[in-house]
Structure 1
């Protein structure tokens, strides 16, 4: 679904509430992810377009950054310790890289749903299927705009996203990628409402990386 407005950088694409999408992002291109209405999370995955066994890694990214909350200037690493993406701009500054994509089991176990939605996990699996990615290859996502707070005792809470209408995060690709995004399906993550996510792909000079 295409959003009505256009950005100077290129066409803005809408992911409807509780849906997902996957697409190619080439080395040197930039990906802008926008929260058009505010307080909406987007789960993001990235795979090496030439070898889908190389995938975004929460553990390596957080380990190498020595912090839990990544923002402007921070790279996102693969399971092979290669930089996949770098955060170039971030108007929110709070995202999660700990929690797994919500799934049917999430809604069954946490919310007690008898007929659960397939969640971000199902949406990611469906969007990535044409690229040969299987459900078992889906790792922990970079949860854009998700606001997870850690207590002194190690407990955590999922609070309302800090993102306001129009906030964005901008990534630059350091390799050819297959990227998948969602408009998150978990009530708690999105302050108990479901809204769309927008994204746009921007082309920059390769020597700018």
Structure 2
């Protein structure tokens, strides 16, 4: 199993039993390449350029109001945790408890708005070439999730990838919102239990999301390699802000 380097002041045991000293949830519990490989110093992209989110890592990108970002499942098997923050105030963000009520759906479809914790549109899903199977119910994996799954030591995780991707461009959010888990296949069965299944998308499937305000998008190529949502083999995804 792949592991990464902890922060200089934390041992694996300390990270697992970590008690937040801040009054929020914005501090990463470990570190990986995400922190050192932003797309640019402040997250501003070159329009039309394709960027890679490496396996197990995260990236942050600024998207202006009216611009569309395309997220591509390069191999068809990878889940991509996706967050959208108001670039002016990171305490406003895409919220799925609010979006589900706004659109009366569990999974957004093309043409649906994505709304914030202030119940206003932050973006719109404008294209989806996949079968449309995504997840809006499951929290981002974090160090505590992997501990519950029996992992000892540090394991790359989507929550830290979000925190580190923002830090890499000089930003910090106070919490880790519920992500839009692109291509994550979590069916709800008739008895209301859920399953953790591999993605049903194919290589090259993409979604387009159009920003309704100046945003910061954050992507994590989910590191999950214990339950089979990534076919037990995390790989990269790609994105581009369309010219």
> TM over 0.5: same fold?
yes
Once residues 118 and 67 of structure 2 are traced to their aligned partners in structure 1, the CA distance between those partners, rounded to angstroms, is 21
TM-score (normalised: structure 2)? 0.77
Counterpart in the other structure of 1:35: 73
CA RMSD of aligned residues (A): 1.6
| 1:95-114 paired onto structure 2 within 5 Å | 95-109=134-148, 111-114=149-152
Pair 1:162-2:200 in alignment: yes
Which portions of structure 1, spanning 4 or more consecutive aligned residues, are displaced by more than 4 angstroms?
none
Once residues 162 and 111 of structure 2 are traced to their aligned partners in structure 1, the CA distance between those partners, rounded to angstroms, is 26
Structure 1, gaps ≥5 residues long: 2-8, 204-209
| 1:190-205 paired onto structure 2 within 5 Å | 190-203=230-243
| 1:1-209 paired onto structure 2 within 5 Å | 10-92=48-130, 93-109=132-148, 111-129=149-167, 130-134=169-173, 136-187=174-225, 188=227, 189-203=229-243
CA contact (8 A) 1:22 1:181 kept: yes
CA contact (8 A) 1:70 1:94 kept: no
CA contact (8 A) 1:71 1:94 kept: no
Secondary structure class of the residue paired with 1:45:
strand
CA contact (8 A) 1:72 1:88 kept: yes
Secondary structure class of the residue paired with 1:55:
coil
Q: How many residues align?
A: 195
Which has more strand, going by share of residues?
1
- What is the CA distance between 1:191 and its match in structure 2? 1.6
Once residues 122 and 191 of structure 2 are traced to their aligned partners in structure 1, the CA distance between those partners, rounded to angstroms, is 33
Once residues 109 and 185 of structure 2 are traced to their aligned partners in structure 1, the CA distance between those partners, rounded to angstroms, is 13
Secondary structure class of the residue paired with 1:164:
coil
- What is the CA distance between 1:186 and its match in structure 2? 0.9
Between the two structures, name the one with larger relative contact order (CA 8 Å, sep ≥ 6).
1
CA contact (8 A) 1:147 1:161 kept: yes
Residue by residue over 1:98-146, the C-alpha shift from the partner in whole angstroms, topping out at 9 and shown as x without a partner, is: 111111111110x200123130111111111244323x42110000111
TM-score (normalised: structure 1)? 0.89
CA contact (8 A) 1:33 1:198 kept: yes
Once residues 131 and 50 of structure 1 are traced to their aligned partners in structure 2, the CA distance between those partners, rounded to angstroms, is 13
- What is the CA distance between 1:63 and its match in structure 2? 1.0
Larger radius of gyration: 2
Structure 2, gaps ≥5 residues long: 1-36, 38-46
CA contact (8 A) 2:56 2:156 kept: no
Once residues 131 and 54 of structure 1 are traced to their aligned partners in structure 2, the CA distance between those partners, rounded to angstroms, is 17
